[in-house]
Structure 1
Amino acid sequence: MSEKPGNQTPDTPNVSETELREMKADELREEARGENISGASNMRKEELVKEVANARSQGGGGSDSRDGENNDGGADADDLGAGPEGGKIRHGDASSSSLKYSQEVTSTEDEPEREGRSLATTHHEVIRQWAEERGGSPATVEGTEHGDHLGVLRIDFGGDDSKLRRVSWEEWFKTFDDRRLNFIYQEQRTDGTQSNFFRLENPEREDA
């Protein structure tokens, strides 16, 4: 028996899962946030399809009961999103050559063109996922603060650097956006092994 297009989920009349599956995962996450579905940032595409379909059929509100749950000591991951630039690279007079030759990443669905490719983004969720896949946490360098503002931003991978102080993703990304920084990084080295390389660049100033 052939699979019928449209809605395959019981109790979700007038909701087309086929239509939802044609959407990108980032678009589904936006839909999920609009339906007040918690935990959307950590869901796979098929989970998002089902949650959004269920929420639409119920007239809003998801089945996830993790409202307010916070796993990283900062803002709920759902509040991070793409950021004000939609993930696009920020340009300025002091943009480096490495930024010029980096592949722009504007979605969590984007893949490197090849192993070892230099990547660049301002997408909050892309940065958070990259860091957490490597056991990293948002941090700042102690002693570099400017009044109540965070100092130099770093990712703490759990090393022995006693100068790093962990902060929330909310604080980290607020500073990242206020300073109009770009996140330049690698997913893999040229030999295919996982890379922890990253650096932050301010395209308006040589000193990020």
Structure 2
Amino acid sequence: MPTRNSSGSTATKNPPGNQTPNTPDINESEIARLKVDELRDRLRSRGVTDTADMKKDDLVNALIKAMKGSSRATGGSGASGSSGGGVRTGSHTSSSVRYSQEITSVDDEAERPGRSLVTTDHDVIRQWAEARKGVPCTVDGTEHDGHAGVLRFDFPAGGREDRLREISWEDWFDAFDRRRLNFIYQEERSDGKQSNFFRLESPDREDG
């Protein structure tokens, strides 16, 4: 039964357990017990920055919100889906990211042919690659700590590159999110023909 504080209002701060239906991975009371640095680290891994001035309650609410968004995007299962975050920024955010049109869902369209686009949305990236018969790959020999190494797409129509090894979409997106990468790409060239141009950039490292 809810308790009442000295002003007579119902106290609901950090009730035990999971307060959000269909989100088995979110436990509000467990999140509330995390230290401030742990909260900031978890938010950073989800692409949420500018948390330096946030108090603990704000950090807790921000993390819960980010996790809810990710859970809805994956159907609550934890499987790969939309990343739940926008374009990632950091100390090495490139001019390419800043001047690209942000795409946040498969319903968004480029403003014009040849427009540089940027996204972190899993569905957008997968749809773009599959429309070009692209296969998620990693460069052999670059794996580390059990995770995929340098990420690439292989376009079989152009001939397979020797060092590319096909991996699952789940592994590709796991590495993409762990490294806080942005996907910069084109839908069409300026002449209106389909473009296969893309690159991956990290806002935290000069070399991506």
Aligned partners of 2:94 and 2:145: how far apart in 1?
Answer: 29
Equivalence map 1:152-191=2 (5 Å):
152-158=150-156, 159-191=159-191
Which one of 136, 139, 143 corresponds to residue 134 of structure 2? 136
Do the aligned partners of residues 189 and 32 (structure 1) sit closer, same or farther apart at CA in structure 2, a change above 3 Å counting? Answer: same
Q: Distance in 1 between matches of 2:88 and 2:143?
A: 24
Corresponding residue number in structure 2 for 1:103: 101
Q: Could you list the per-position Cα deviations for residues 90-143 of structure 1 after superposition, in whole angstroms to 9, with x for gaps in the alignment? A: 001101111110000001000000000000000000000000000001000001
Residue correspondence of structure 1 range 12-161 to structure 2 within 5 A: 33=75, 79-85=79-85, 88-158=86-156, 159-161=159-161
Deviations 1:54-103 (A, max 9, x none): xxxxxxxxxxxxxxxxxxxxxxxx94321141xx1000110111111000
Query: Displacement of 1:162 after TM fit?
Result: 1.1
CA distance in 2, matches of 1:33, 1:122: 18
Instruction: Determine helix, strand or coil for the equivalent of 1:180.
Output: coil
Secondary structure of the corresponding residue to residue 190 of structure 1: coil
Identity level (%): 60
- Per the TM alignment, residue 207 of structure 1 is displaced from its structure 2 partner at its CA by 1.1
The separation in 2 between residues aligned to 1:82 and 1:150, in whole angstroms, is: 19
Give 1:52's aligned residue. none
AA matched with 2:204: E
Distance 1:187 1:141, change over 3 A: same
User: What's the TM-score, normalizing by structure 2?
Assistant: 0.61
Distance 1:92 1:162, change over 3 A: same
What RMSD in Å do the two structures reach over aligned CA positions? 2.2
Deviation of 1:32 after TM superposition, in Å, equals: 10
- SS state at 1:120 partner: strand
Instruction: Please name the residue that 1:197 is paired with.
Output: 197
Instruction: Indicate conservation of the 8 Å contact 2:117/2:185, yes or no.
Output: yes
Q: Which residue identity lines up with residue 119 of structure 2 in the other structure? A: T
Equivalent residue, structure 2, for 1:71: none
Distance 1:80 1:131 in 2: 15
2: CA distance, partners of 1:84 / 1:141: 27
Letter in 1 for 2:116: S
| Structure 1 gap ranges (5+) | 1-29, 37-77
Cα distance in 2 between the residues matched to 1:99 and 1:201: 8
SS of 2:165's equivalent in the other structure is: strand
